[in-house]
Amino acid sequence: MANGGDLNAYSFAGISHGGWLSKRFNDDFGRFPYIGARKRLLKMQQEKSIGRRMFEALSRRAKLTTVLGYVSEKILGWRPPQGSEPNKLADELFKILDEERNKQALEKFLTETQNKCRSHHRFFDKVSGWRLVQGGIFAVDQKLLKGEIVVVPGQLVHRDAIAQYNATFAMTVARLPGEWLLADMPPFGMIDDNERFDGNVLSLVTEPDFDRMFRYDLPFRKDIGWYPYCRVTGFFQEPASNESMPSLEIIMVEFRRPKPYESEKTSCFSFLKDEVQMPNYLEKRWEFLCASYMLPLLAKGSNLENFKVSADQKKILQDYVTKAGADLPAALANWYTSV
């Protein structure tokens, strides 16, 4: 990777709150239309525990058992018809979960769960334990978290996106149970000479058919392979004997959605044009590669699957791709070629 050392002493300004990438996303976290770990959640309702008392309070408002059962039926029994539109499953599930009765139950459940995690020191600020950074889940004794519900913010990275930048680490994560990882940096930051990358990631465990159902839905799109702003609530699991990293069995995922493409496109193309000609915000290689995700995320977030640009815009993108060179994320190559 060219100029990899630029990462060593660099604070990742574009992704941070108020940065050039961050401002193109909504500030608030929205809920992804999926509930995982449903068997474990239902089991909690039957146990004499703190978890049960939480669920009893919830059940007085709405039947969580009914909601979980309905979602399970939809997820496990779903067979998308041929020619169905992308996002159809997610749209249907979102409508189900957004019905007033279900929405009240799930929002209360999520709030109660996260409040419990805060009060029991299981609500973290980040993934990494780099130099014992305060707030990172890896800075905590993992034995204390075994089987507990935790909340962890981070960046989604698909494991296939890593090999382009670190073949050794890609082989390490290939043995983990989940395709998606929760990390503190994009795949191009996972390089050996980046002293901020400590090799700590969380494997995210989902339904066996999760990818088939949600491959066209942000934030879990393999054709992008990275999403910068997520927060995962799930059951913490220590590594199995053949695994190098712990896992989270997902209960719920929240994420900051991209703003509408139409409202951002003009400023985005101007931004890329200026930065290619005379880098300012994208002077560091990290920031330059991060910018490659900006337009694809905005387009996918606005359901623009057959995305096309004008001749002038295409020239801007071609100049950007030329300057990115071999470091351009491989998952995005088709997108840049097709526009």
Q: Are 184 and 288 in contact (CB under 8 A)?
A: no
- Kindly write down the DSSP assignment for every residue of 178-229, as one continuous string: -SEEEESS-GGG--TT-TT--S--EEEE--TTHHHHHTTSTT--TTT-EEEE
Cis peptide before 187 (omega within 30 of 0): no
Residue identified by tokens 């960046």 is 155
- Single-letter code of the amino acid located at 243: E
Q: Compute the average pLDDT of residues 317-335.
A: 95
List CB contacts of 222: < 8 A, sequence separation 6 or more. Answer: 158, 160, 179, 211, 215, 331
Confidence at residue 61, expressed as pLDDT on a 0 to 100 scale: 43
How many C-beta atoms lie closer than 10 Å to residue 244's C-beta? 15
The tens digit of pLDDT for each residue in 103-118 reads 677 777 788 888 889 9
Token pair in block for residue 257? 């959605």
- The one-letter code for the residue type at 71 is V
Residues 10-18: what's their mean pLDDT? 73
Instruction: State the pLDDT confidence band at 78, using cuts at 50, 70 and 90.
Output: very low
**Can you give the pLDDT at residue 97?**
65
pLDDT digits (tens, 9 = 90+) for 255-302: 999 999 999 999 999 999 999 999 999 999 889 999 999 999 999 999
What lies within 8 Å, CB to CB, of 265 at 6+ separation is 295, 298
Looking at residue 219, what is its pLDDT? 96
Q: Give the Cα separation of 217 and 93 in Å (integer).
A: 12
At 182-231, the pLDDT tens digits run: 999 899 989 877 777 888 899 999 887 788 778 888 999 999 999 999 99
Place of tokens 């059962």: 69
Cα three-residue angle 191-292-172, rounded to 5 degrees: 30
Q: How far is 210 from 249, CA to CA, in rounded Å?
A: 13
Return the pLDDT at 9.
Answer: 36
pLDDT surpasses 60 at 181: yes
How many Å apart are CA 17 and CA 67, to the nearest integer?
35
- In whole angstroms, what separates CA 126 from the centre of its chain? 13
Q: Where are the alpha helices (DSSP H) in the chain?
A: 38-45, 50-59, 64-77, 88-98, 100-119, 167-173, 210-214, 261-277, 285-290, 294-301, 311-324, 333-338
Rounded to two decimals, the pTM is 0.84
What length does the chain have? 339
